[in-house]
């Protein structure tokens, strides 16, 4: 059991490694320079769909070019979880990202020049850019590695789920609303672009990768499969990462390409994306259309939801295709619901593919669901806050999908934001209109059992000087998990924070872990560390008891000492005695924590996470009816975090998440036309700036979940999930318009106003 | 070509290829990797440095133009004894650093605002003294993108430092 009277947990400890990040000393992938290192560059197609021939002879002759590869030069397996993605494309390209050749050269400039010398002849083909077009009869096969296991060869993935009796609930409904929503491609736009440095040693046959993956052990296996190597011959070191947000959850072609260049040349090779390449070739949030029909009875109780999602899979499959795991959770289980039917289809097109992005489909689902709730309330003439409170989830509830809420702060979250936000302020004049919008969300808060294990390993040791080293399977991607681990060790062992080191960047050293996703790191790695500490303390207690001649084994660990009421001994002394006197033992312990969650059955039912997080937001906006411009004034956020582990880091997750949500709502969209990307730069893809930051008020709700470390739940994804939904509701409230798509650009607002006035 | 300039308080001389940017000079030639490449096209501010006290995007600045100027980079802020600059301290304290990729640029731009406060009256062409209230800080930092923090803590840190000596 973790400690009760907490000294460090719950306090605003600055980030463990903030100092090296604020002085420019942190080494990111961009900063690595190895002796003899070559620079890699990738030639991508100029057209989204074409057949081509390629001639690299001139590039090969350029002085300083060491290696040029095309599909003909390599023997590899396809990548992606569907294994439908060739690393280098041969004879045909299927989306504008497609890699067709790569070079390694002595300098970046030479590498770039070599790319220009590669001669490619394209025969442009007519592509398919609308998912439903790909299902029409006579549509060509888009991905020839398609599993073909669904009714149409251009279907990449399908999900079907249901609970309750839809027809019965439909009959009970006094009002029914049906809408179709369209969600855009948002991109992660990490400030540090994608990068990798590969170093293959020809004599040992071992491959060392400096990679910013957030799932190193899955990545090691995927890389080995791609390159036909043994996973354990691949060592992955994770340099400091310049932002993740889900973008590094999959392996993309540039990574095995870099490894191949190193294998071919026997020298280290680095590939660093330009910003243009980052916009073009890193994955996006999954775009989709969501058709939803939902009902409520005369008292405002929700009755049913019938949902059909169509996802543009792009030419290959990445994690975007699996977002329905999370999407269906929102539809089946956010607010108590008697009946739900859900289907989702991912369809191949000649567009770019989507990956995972903070929220994993949940912002899309929550937008559609919360918009529809407002429409139901309107139809019933009910207050929008009241209808939500009435239907909010409660502790002890098991949802139709089998999610069990041991603790649940949904009611609290809603009540809090509704009260704090109060009534919207009066619009100053006819031009500027104010609106208030509410939205909630549910998300896994204790990992998600989707891989064979959702576990995490930890080894902890204390050295003869009383310093502690935590070797954790988990990763730090900027979210602060290292700091939380150090705080836990400080709390439990009474060692000061500056004597705690966290080692977590090397697959040759650290124990297994699934990786950073599903807001799981603090929860799973925290519990794993607590387990290791428990074992370590048993050993320390034994020795301390012997040295203090104390029978009891209940000791306090404080200020570097192991104490009873009357006696104490320095921790480092106990460790030295352990090491250097018989029976000579190390002060070290390992533990593997596996959450108690279950796998879902074939119908996607089961309690998939150790615990669930809830959050609500109330957002006030002001819309300029002349320009269509939307300004977010205040954001009230209440989130069930279980227990606040570190308020400083928690605030950071909330603020950062909310602003990403505001961007999703108002400005961010990668614009494609017939498969070509039109806005691959910060000038035309609008990230919000410091000047756009609204007032954000955050109210943590503590429900103390006994599954979590000190009662904590996962927090990382939640802050972004309901934001776009609440903003859309606020804009619609301000103008009494319909908003069926994101982002809510000024043009879309003006069109909606015009449509309303023409009615 | 040879350029000589003052780098973080020391006179330096170096031979450069006249086509490279100041960012390349720093990162590739001089091994000063604290200044970050976020876009190389003047849009993100990650590469912000101070030239004669004014914040500049190093990625757009031709390296040859640095001749005769005074350049301060993130590496120049920590004292010889390893003490952080007050802006850096405030960033740490306020939890304004997540992934940290924007941080060097943010810190340098806040330094520029601090310098503006202290010297605006004396610098030709820079004689508007910007009041360090929250609104102006937000405006001042507009050219520095951050994807992680939502800016709130960064603004808090800047506000604290810039208002410290206010009478
Ligand atoms: S790298 Fe210079 S502004 Fe982005
Ligand atoms: S801290 Fe990551 S971009 Fe600012």
pLDDT 10s digits, A61-112: 999 999 999 999 999 999 999 999 999 999 999 999 999 999 999 999 999 9
- Between the alpha carbon of residue A666 and those of residues A186, A327, A685, the distances in Å are 11, 21, 11
Distance A185 CA to ligand 1 centre (A): 24
The whole-number pLDDT of residue B167 equals 42
List the single residue in A with minimal CA-CA distance to B91.
A22
Q: What is the DSSP letter of A282?
A: S
What is the percent of chain B with per-residue pLDDT over 70, rounded to a whole number? 93
List the single residue in A with minimal CA-CA distance to B44.
A682
What is the percent of chain B with per-residue pLDDT over 90, rounded to a whole number? 87
List the single residue in A with minimal CA-CA distance to B149.
A656
Whether residue A275 and residue B78 make contact (CB cut-off 8 A), yes or no, is: no
CATH of A32-126+193-241+248-281, one of 3.30.1490.20, 3.40.50.720, 3.40.50.2300, 3.90.1170.50: 3.90.1170.50
The whole-number pLDDT of residue A520 equals 77
Treating both helix axes as pointing N-terminal to C-terminal, what angle do A723-735 and A746-758 enclose, rounded to 10 degrees? Answer: 40
The whole-number pLDDT of residue A707 equals 87
The whole-number pLDDT of residue B165 equals 61
Nearest to A693 among B40, B99, B151 (CB): B151
* Residue to mutate (ligand 1; options B57, B106, B146; most atoms within 8 A of CB): B57
The whole-number pLDDT of residue A16 equals 86
Answer yes or no: is pLDDT of B156 > 90: yes
Whether residue A275 and residue B142 make contact (CB cut-off 8 A), yes or no, is: no
Question: pLDDT: is A728 or A444 the higher one?
Answer: A728
CA distance B49 to B105: 7
Distance A295 CA to ligand 2 centre (A): 42
The whole-number pLDDT of residue A2 equals 59
Please, which residues 557-616 of chain A have a Cβ atom closer than 8 Å to chain B? none
The whole-number pLDDT of residue A550 equals 87
- Between the alpha carbon of residue A578 and those of residues A496, A573, A581, the distances in Å are 21, 9, 6
A82-96, A420-434, A537-551: range with lowest mean pLDDT: A420-434
Distance B46 CA to ligand 2 centre (A): 9
Cβ–ligand 2 distance for B163 under 6 Å, the answer: no
Q: Is-same-fold flag (A18-26+455-593; A288-448+600-758)? A: yes
Whether residue B147 and residue A244 make contact (CB cut-off 8 A), yes or no, is: no
Neighbouring-strand partners of residue A372: none
Show me where the domains of chain B are located: 2-76, 86-162
The per-residue pLDDT for range A597-655, each reduced to its tens digit, is 778 889 999 998 889 999 999 999 999 999 999 999 999 999 999 999 999 999 999 99
Distance A40 CA to ligand 1 centre (A): 22
What is the percent of chain A with per-residue pLDDT over 70, rounded to a whole number? 99
Instruction: Please name which of A246, A334, A192, A290 lies closest in space to residue A657, comparing C-alpha atoms.
Output: A246
CA distance A489 to A487: 5
The whole-number pLDDT of residue A518 equals 61
CB contact at 8 A, A511 and A592: yes
Nearest to B101 among A15, A192, A657 (CB): A192
* Residue to mutate (ligand 2; options B148, B151, B155; most atoms within 8 A of CB): B148
Cβ–ligand 2 distance for B147 under 6 Å, the answer: yes
Residue A377 half-sphere exposure toward CB, CA atoms < 13 A: 20
* Residue identifier of the C-alpha nearest atom 4 of ligand 2: B146
Please, which residues 119-148 of chain B have a Cβ atom closer than 8 Å to chain A? 137-139, 141-148
Answer yes or no: is pLDDT of A489 > 80: yes
Per the listing, tokens 């900063």 go with A31
CA distance A129 to A673: 9
Top CATH class, B2-76 = alpha beta
**Any idea which fold B86-162 has?**
DNA polymerase; domain 1 (1.10.150)
CATH numeric code, A18-26+455-593: 3.30.365.10
A305-314, A397-406, A710-719, B83-92: range with lowest mean pLDDT: A710-719
CATH numeric code, A288-448+600-758: 3.30.365.10
Show me where the domains of chain A are located: 18-26+455-593, 32-126+193-241+248-281, 288-448+600-758
Whether residue B153 and residue A18 make contact (CB cut-off 8 A), yes or no, is: no
Answer yes or no: is pLDDT of B112 > 90: yes
Nearest to A693 among B74, B97, B138 (CB): B138
Answer yes or no: is pLDDT of B145 > 70: yes
The whole-number pLDDT of residue A369 equals 98
CA distance B23 to A759: 56
CA distance A350 to A676: 10
Cβ–ligand 1 distance for B53 under 6 Å, the answer: no
Give me the sheet containing A195-201, strands edge to edge. A65-70, A99-105, A38-44, A269-272, A195-201, A206-211, A234-237
Per the listing, tokens 């370590």 go with A536
Say yes or no: B158 contacts chain A, CB-CB below 8 A: no
| Band (A428; pLDDT cuts 50, 70, 90) | confident
Answer yes or no: is pLDDT of B123 > 60: no
């Amino acid at each position: 059991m973790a400690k009760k009277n907490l000294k460090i947990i719950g306090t605003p400890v600055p980030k463990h490694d903030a100092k090296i990040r604020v002085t420019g000393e942190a080494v990111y992938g961009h900063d690595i320079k190895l002796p003899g290192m070559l620079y890699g560059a990738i030639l991508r197609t100029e057209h989204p769909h074409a057949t081509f021939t390629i001639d690299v002879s001139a590039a090969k002759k350029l002085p300083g070019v060491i290696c040029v590869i095309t599909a003909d030069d390599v023997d590899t397996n396809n990548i992606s979880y569907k294994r439908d993605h060739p690393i280098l494309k041969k004879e045909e390209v299927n989306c504008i990202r497609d890699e067709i050749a790569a070079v390694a050269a002595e300098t970046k400039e030479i590498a770039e020049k070599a790319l220009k010398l590669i001669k490619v002849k394209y025969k442009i083909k007519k592509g398919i850019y609308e998912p439903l077009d790909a299902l029409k009869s006579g549509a060509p096969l888009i991905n020839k590695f398609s599993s073909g296991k669904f009714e149409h060869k251009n279907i990449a993935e399908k999900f079907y789920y249901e609970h309750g009796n839809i027809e019965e609930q439909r009959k009970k409904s006094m009002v029914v609303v049906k809408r179709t929503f369209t969600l855009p491609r948002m991109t992660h736009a990490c400030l540090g672009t994608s990068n990798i440095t590969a170093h293959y040693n020809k004599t040992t046959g071992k491959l060392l990768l400096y990679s910013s993956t957030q799932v190193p052990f899955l990545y090691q296996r995927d890389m080995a499969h791609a390159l036909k190597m043994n996973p354990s011959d691949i060592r992955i070191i994770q340099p400091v990462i310049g932002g993740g947000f889900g973008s590094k959850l999959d392996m993309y072609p540039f990574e095995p390409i870099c490894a191949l260049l190193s294998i071919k040349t026997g020298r280290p090779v680095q590939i660093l994306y330009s910003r243009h390449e980052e916009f073009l070739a890193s994955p996006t949030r999954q775009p989709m259309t969501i058709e939803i029909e939902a009902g409520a009875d005369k008292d405002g109780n929700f009755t049913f939801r019938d949902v059909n999602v169509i996802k543009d899979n792009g030419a290959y499959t990445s994690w975007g295709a699996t977002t329905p795991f999370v999407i269906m959770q929102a539809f089946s289980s956010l607010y108590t619901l008697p009946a739900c039917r859900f289907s989702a289809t991912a369809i191949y097109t000649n567009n770019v593919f989507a990956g995972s992005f903070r929220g994993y489909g949940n912002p899309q689902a929550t937008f559609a669901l919360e918009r529809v709730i407002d429409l139901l309330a309107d139809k019933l003439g009910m207050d929008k806050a009241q209808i939500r409170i009435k239907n909010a989830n409660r502790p002890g509830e098991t949802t139709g999908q089998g999610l069990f809420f041991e603790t649940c702060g949904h009611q609290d979250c809603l009540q809090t934001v509704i009260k704090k936000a109060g009534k919207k302020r009066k619009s100053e004049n006819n031009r500027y209109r104010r609106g208030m919008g509410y939205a909630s969300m549910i998300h896994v808060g204790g990992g998600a059992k989707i891989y064979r294990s959702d576990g995490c390993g930890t080894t902890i040791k204390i050295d003869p000087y009383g310093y502690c080293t935590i070797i954790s399977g988990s990763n730090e991607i900027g979210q602060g998990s290292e700091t939380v681990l150090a705080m836990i060790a400080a709390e439990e062992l009474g060692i000061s924070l500056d004597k705690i080191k966290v080692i977590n960047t090397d697959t040759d050293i650290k124990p297994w872990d699934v990786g950073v996703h599903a807001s799981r790191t603090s929860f799973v790695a925290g519990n794993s560390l607590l387990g290791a500490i428990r074992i370590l303390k048993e050993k320390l207690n034994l020795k301390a008891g012997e040295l203090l001649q104390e029978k009891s084994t209940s000791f306090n660990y404080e200020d570097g000492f192991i104490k009873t009421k009357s006696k104490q001994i320095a921790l480092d002394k106990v460790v030295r005695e352990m090491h250097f006197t018989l029976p000579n033992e190390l002060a070290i312990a390992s533990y593997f924590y596996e959450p108690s969650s279950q796998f879902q059955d074939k119908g996607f039912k089961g309690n998939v996470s150790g615990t669930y997080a809830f959050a609500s937001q109330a957002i006030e906006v002001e819309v300029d009816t002349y320009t269509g411009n939307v300004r977010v004034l205040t954001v009230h956020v209440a989130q069930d975090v279980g227990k606040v582990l570190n308020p400083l880091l928690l605030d950071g997750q909330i603020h950062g998440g909310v602003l990403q949500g505001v961007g999703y709502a108002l400005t961010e969209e990668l614009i494609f036309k017939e498969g070509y990307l039109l806005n691959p730069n910060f000038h035309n893809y609008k990230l919000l700036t410091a000047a756009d930051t609204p007032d954000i008020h955050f109210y943590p709700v503590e429900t103390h979940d006994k599954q979590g470390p000190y009662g904590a739940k996962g927090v990382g994804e939640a802050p972004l999930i309901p934001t776009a939904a609440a903003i859309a509701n606020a804009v619609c409230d301000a103008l009494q318009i319909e908003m069926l798509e994101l982002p809510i650009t000024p043009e879309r607002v003006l069109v909606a106003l015009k449509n309303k006035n023409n009615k | 070509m040879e350029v000589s300039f003052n780098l973080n308080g020391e006179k330096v001389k170096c031979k450069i290829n006249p086509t490279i940017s100041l960012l390349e000079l720093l990162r590739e030639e001089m091994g000063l990797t604290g200044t970050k490449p976020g876009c190389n096209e003047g849009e993100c501010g990650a590469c912000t440095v101070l030239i004669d006290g004014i914040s500049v995007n190093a990625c757009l600045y031709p390296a040859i133009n640095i001749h005769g100027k005074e350049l301060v980079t993130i590496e120049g802020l920590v004292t010889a004894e390893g003490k952080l600059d007050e802006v850096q301290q405030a960033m740490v304290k306020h939890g304004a650093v997540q992934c940290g990729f924007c941080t060097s640029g943010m810190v340098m731009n806040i330094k520029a605002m601090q310098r503006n406060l202290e010297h605006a009256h004396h610098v030709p062409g820079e004689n508007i003294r910007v009041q360090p209230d929250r609104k102006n800080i937000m405006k001042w930092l507009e050219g520095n993108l951050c994807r992680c923090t939502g800016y709130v803590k960064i603004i808090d840190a800047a506000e604290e430092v810039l208002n410290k000596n206010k009478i």
